[in-house]
Amino acid sequence: MNFNYPDGRKFQRSQKPAKLSTSQSKKILFGDRGMHLEDEINESNKYYRGHDIAVIYKKPTPVQIVKVDYPKRSRAVIKEAYFRQASTTDYNGVYNGYYIDFEAKETTQKSSFPLKNFHQHQIDHLRACEKQNGICFVIIKYVALKRYFIMPATKLFKYWDGQKHDGPKSIQLSEIVNDSYEITPDYNPTLPYIDIINKLIESRKE
Amino acid sequence: MNFNYPDGRKFQRSQKPAKLSTSQSKKILFGDRGMHLEDEINESNKYYRGHDIAVIYKKPTPVQIVKVDYPKRSRAVIKEAYFRQASTTDYNGVYNGYYIDFEAKETTQKSSFPLKNFHQHQIDHLRACEKQNGICFVIIKYVALKRYFIMPATKLFKYWDGQKHDGPKSIQLSEIVNDSYEITPDYNPTLPYIDIINKLIESRKE
């Protein structure tokens, strides 16, 4: 099947890496084993949940259900539904008493990260959660460079709001490097982003 | 349209009360204006969000999308999808830096609240979030009595786990009264449950 979510995101089945022999596995560049950012985050969240470290989930895609069939001997089938506009970001949960909320975006570009990757409702939601003292950020993946960054929401707002005053419509890699924490991809979990959340919590205390 | 969610919950459009004259409106019993608990909570959440008090949402129903049509001049239509088992509770969000997580159930009974209203995955999720120091609870509505209670998750676990040791399969109203905080229905918001969350936070500090 091949379809796009209304925000243009392509529907992709998780691409599971093929099993490898031990000698092959030593050559693996941890992280980005051909997976999309969404799968890498979901895999990490599964690890965090399984080890009682954090409880963070991707929110289901909101749909407006119009028609459902109830065949006699099988499960209910939704026959007509429409994608609804989400009101929130994609990910949230709890870590050590803190409310965690983030959006994740990937780009194939090598420096420019277009701000139109984000949508107004995601910015509004991050702002509202930031106001409530949640830990809010975005995870940005440069696919071509295999680099991952966590940019605090407050930094993102600076660029987002800058557009209103004729500011640039994209953020450059150098700016992201300056305003973000870089995640070092690893194994178990694939993306140890909780390590960065600890830094966000520390910097908040100062 | 008339269908049930896989957990048996009926799909209901929000029942909006008819407009009333002033003399009639004075007789209104605030809260339970013929609405289901889900609508009362959603209305209250909307109020809390609109007044920058808390950012709490109901999670979308998870569906597994199999087929989507893209008609030329109209929006995408999901033609085949299935209900997925949720992994979490229905509601979560942030209030004053705290992670809030809860499930909401209503009963038409006058005392007995059957524990099978809850599902194992909801209990597991509440337990995991409680472990992470989230503020976790259930909202229980006795529809016939027009009474609403917030029971902390830890109290619910006591009854849930009791079943394994031949404990009762239901909680009685008197037990709920003893182990919960009662919400006084009101107007703006309909269900001022944040007032109870403040009490949960206070009791946690002791």
The predicted-structure confidence for A80-89, as pLDDT tens digits, reads as follows 999 999 999 9
- Enumerate the known binding-site residues of A: 88, 90, 103, 122
Closest CA to A58 of A80, A36, A78, A74: A36
Does pLDDT of A18 surpass 70? no
CA B51 to chain centre: 20
Tell me, what's the pLDDT at A31?
53
Q: Tell me how close the Cα of B80 comes to any Cα of chain A, in angstroms.
A: 5
Tokens of A65: 């259900």
Chain B residues touching residue A79 (CB < 8 angstroms): 79-80
Which chain B residue's Cα is nearest to A132?
B96
State yes or no: B122 annotated in a binding site.
yes
- Spatial CA neighbour of B61 closest among B115, B14, B113, B4: B4
Q: Is the ipTM of this complex over 0.95?
A: no
pLDDT over threshold 80, residue A49:
yes
Confidence check: pLDDT of A119 > 80: yes
Q: What is the pLDDT at residue A23?
A: 42
Which pLDDT score is estimated for B64? 96
- Listed in sequence order, the residues at least 6 apart from B103 whose beta carbon sits closer than 8 Å to its beta carbon are B89, B90, B91, B118, B122, B126, B138, B139
Q: How far is the CA of A196 from the CAs of A95, A175, A190, A201, in angstroms?
A: 12, 18, 14, 9
Domain regions of chain B by residue span: 35-205
- What span, in angstroms and rounded, lies between the C-alpha atoms of A25 and A11? 28
Report whether B195 belongs to an annotated binding site.
no
On the question of pLDDT at B161 being above 70, the answer is yes
The residue-averaged pLDDT of A117-144 equals 97
pLDDT band for B74, please (50, 70, 90 cuts).
very high
Q: b/e string for A135-173 if b means 16 or more Cβ within 10 A? A: bbbbbbbbeeeebbbbbbbebbeebbeeeeeeeeebbeb
**pLDDT value of residue B154:** 98
Q: Is the pTM of this model over 0.95?
A: no
Evaluate whether A108 touches A143 at the Cβ level (below 8 Å).
yes
Q: Of the candidates B78, B93, B98, which has its C-beta nearest A82's C-beta? A: B78
Chain A positions in Cβ-Cβ contact with residue B134 (cut-off 8 Å): 55, 94, 97
| Predicted pLDDT of residue A34 | 76
DSSP per position, B13-77: ---PPPP--HHHHTT--SS-SS--HHHHHHHHHHHHHHTTS-EEEEPPPPEEEEEEE--TTS--E
How large is the angle between the packed helices B193-205 and B37-50, nearest 10 degrees? Answer: 80
Q: Tell me, what amino acid is at B166?
A: D
Residues of B in contact with A4 (CB under 8 A): 76
> Which of A25 and B63 is assigned the larger pLDDT?
B63
What tens digit of pLDDT does each residue of A99-110 get?
999 999 999 999
Residues A180, A149: Cα–Cα separation, whole Å: 6
Pairing of strands B135-142, B98-107: parallel
Put simply, the answer to whether A79 touches B80 (Cβ < 8 Å) is yes
Backbone conformation region of residue B191, classed left if phi is above 0, alpha if psi is from -120 to 50, else beta: beta
- Cross-chain CB nearest to A94 (options B11, B79, B134): B134
Report whether pLDDT(B115) > 80.
yes
Which of A28-42, B93-107, B176-190 shows the lowest mean pLDDT across its residues?
Answer: A28-42
CATH topology of domain B35-205: Trna Endonuclease; Chain: A, domain 1 (3.40.1350)
Give the mean pLDDT of B175-179. Answer: 98
> B87: which residues sit within 8 A by CB, 6+ positions away?
A57, B62, B121, B125
Kindly tell me the burial class for residue B8, based on how many C-beta atoms sit within 10 Å of its own C-beta (0-12, 13-18, 19 or more): exposed
Give B21 to chain A, closest Cα distance, Å: 34
Does residue A2 register a pLDDT over 90? no
Determine whether the interchain pair A59/B59 forms a contact, defined as Cβ–Cβ distance below 8 Å: yes
pLDDT for A27: 42
Cis peptide before B185 (omega within 30 of 0): no
Q: How confident is the model at residue A123 (pLDDT cuts 50, 70, 90)?
A: very high
pLDDT at A99: 98
Asked which of A38-42, A141-145, B9-13, B170-174 is least confident by mean pLDDT, the reply is B9-13
Report the 3 state secondary structure along chain A: CCCECCCCCECCCCCCCCCCCHHHHCCCCCCCCCCCHHHHHHHHHHHHHHCCCCEEEECCCCEEEEEEECCCCCCCEEEEEEECCCCCCCEEEEECCEEEEEEEEEECCCCCEEHHHCCHHHHHHHHHHHHCCCEEEEEEEECCCCEEEEEEHHHHHHHHHHHHHCCCCEECHHHHHHHCEEECCCCCCCCCHHHHHHHHHHHHHC
- Two tokens, residue A1: 């099947």
pLDDT at A22: 44
Q: What is the pLDDT confidence band of residue B206, given thresholds at 50, 70 and 90? A: confident
Statement: residue A10 has pLDDT above 90:
no
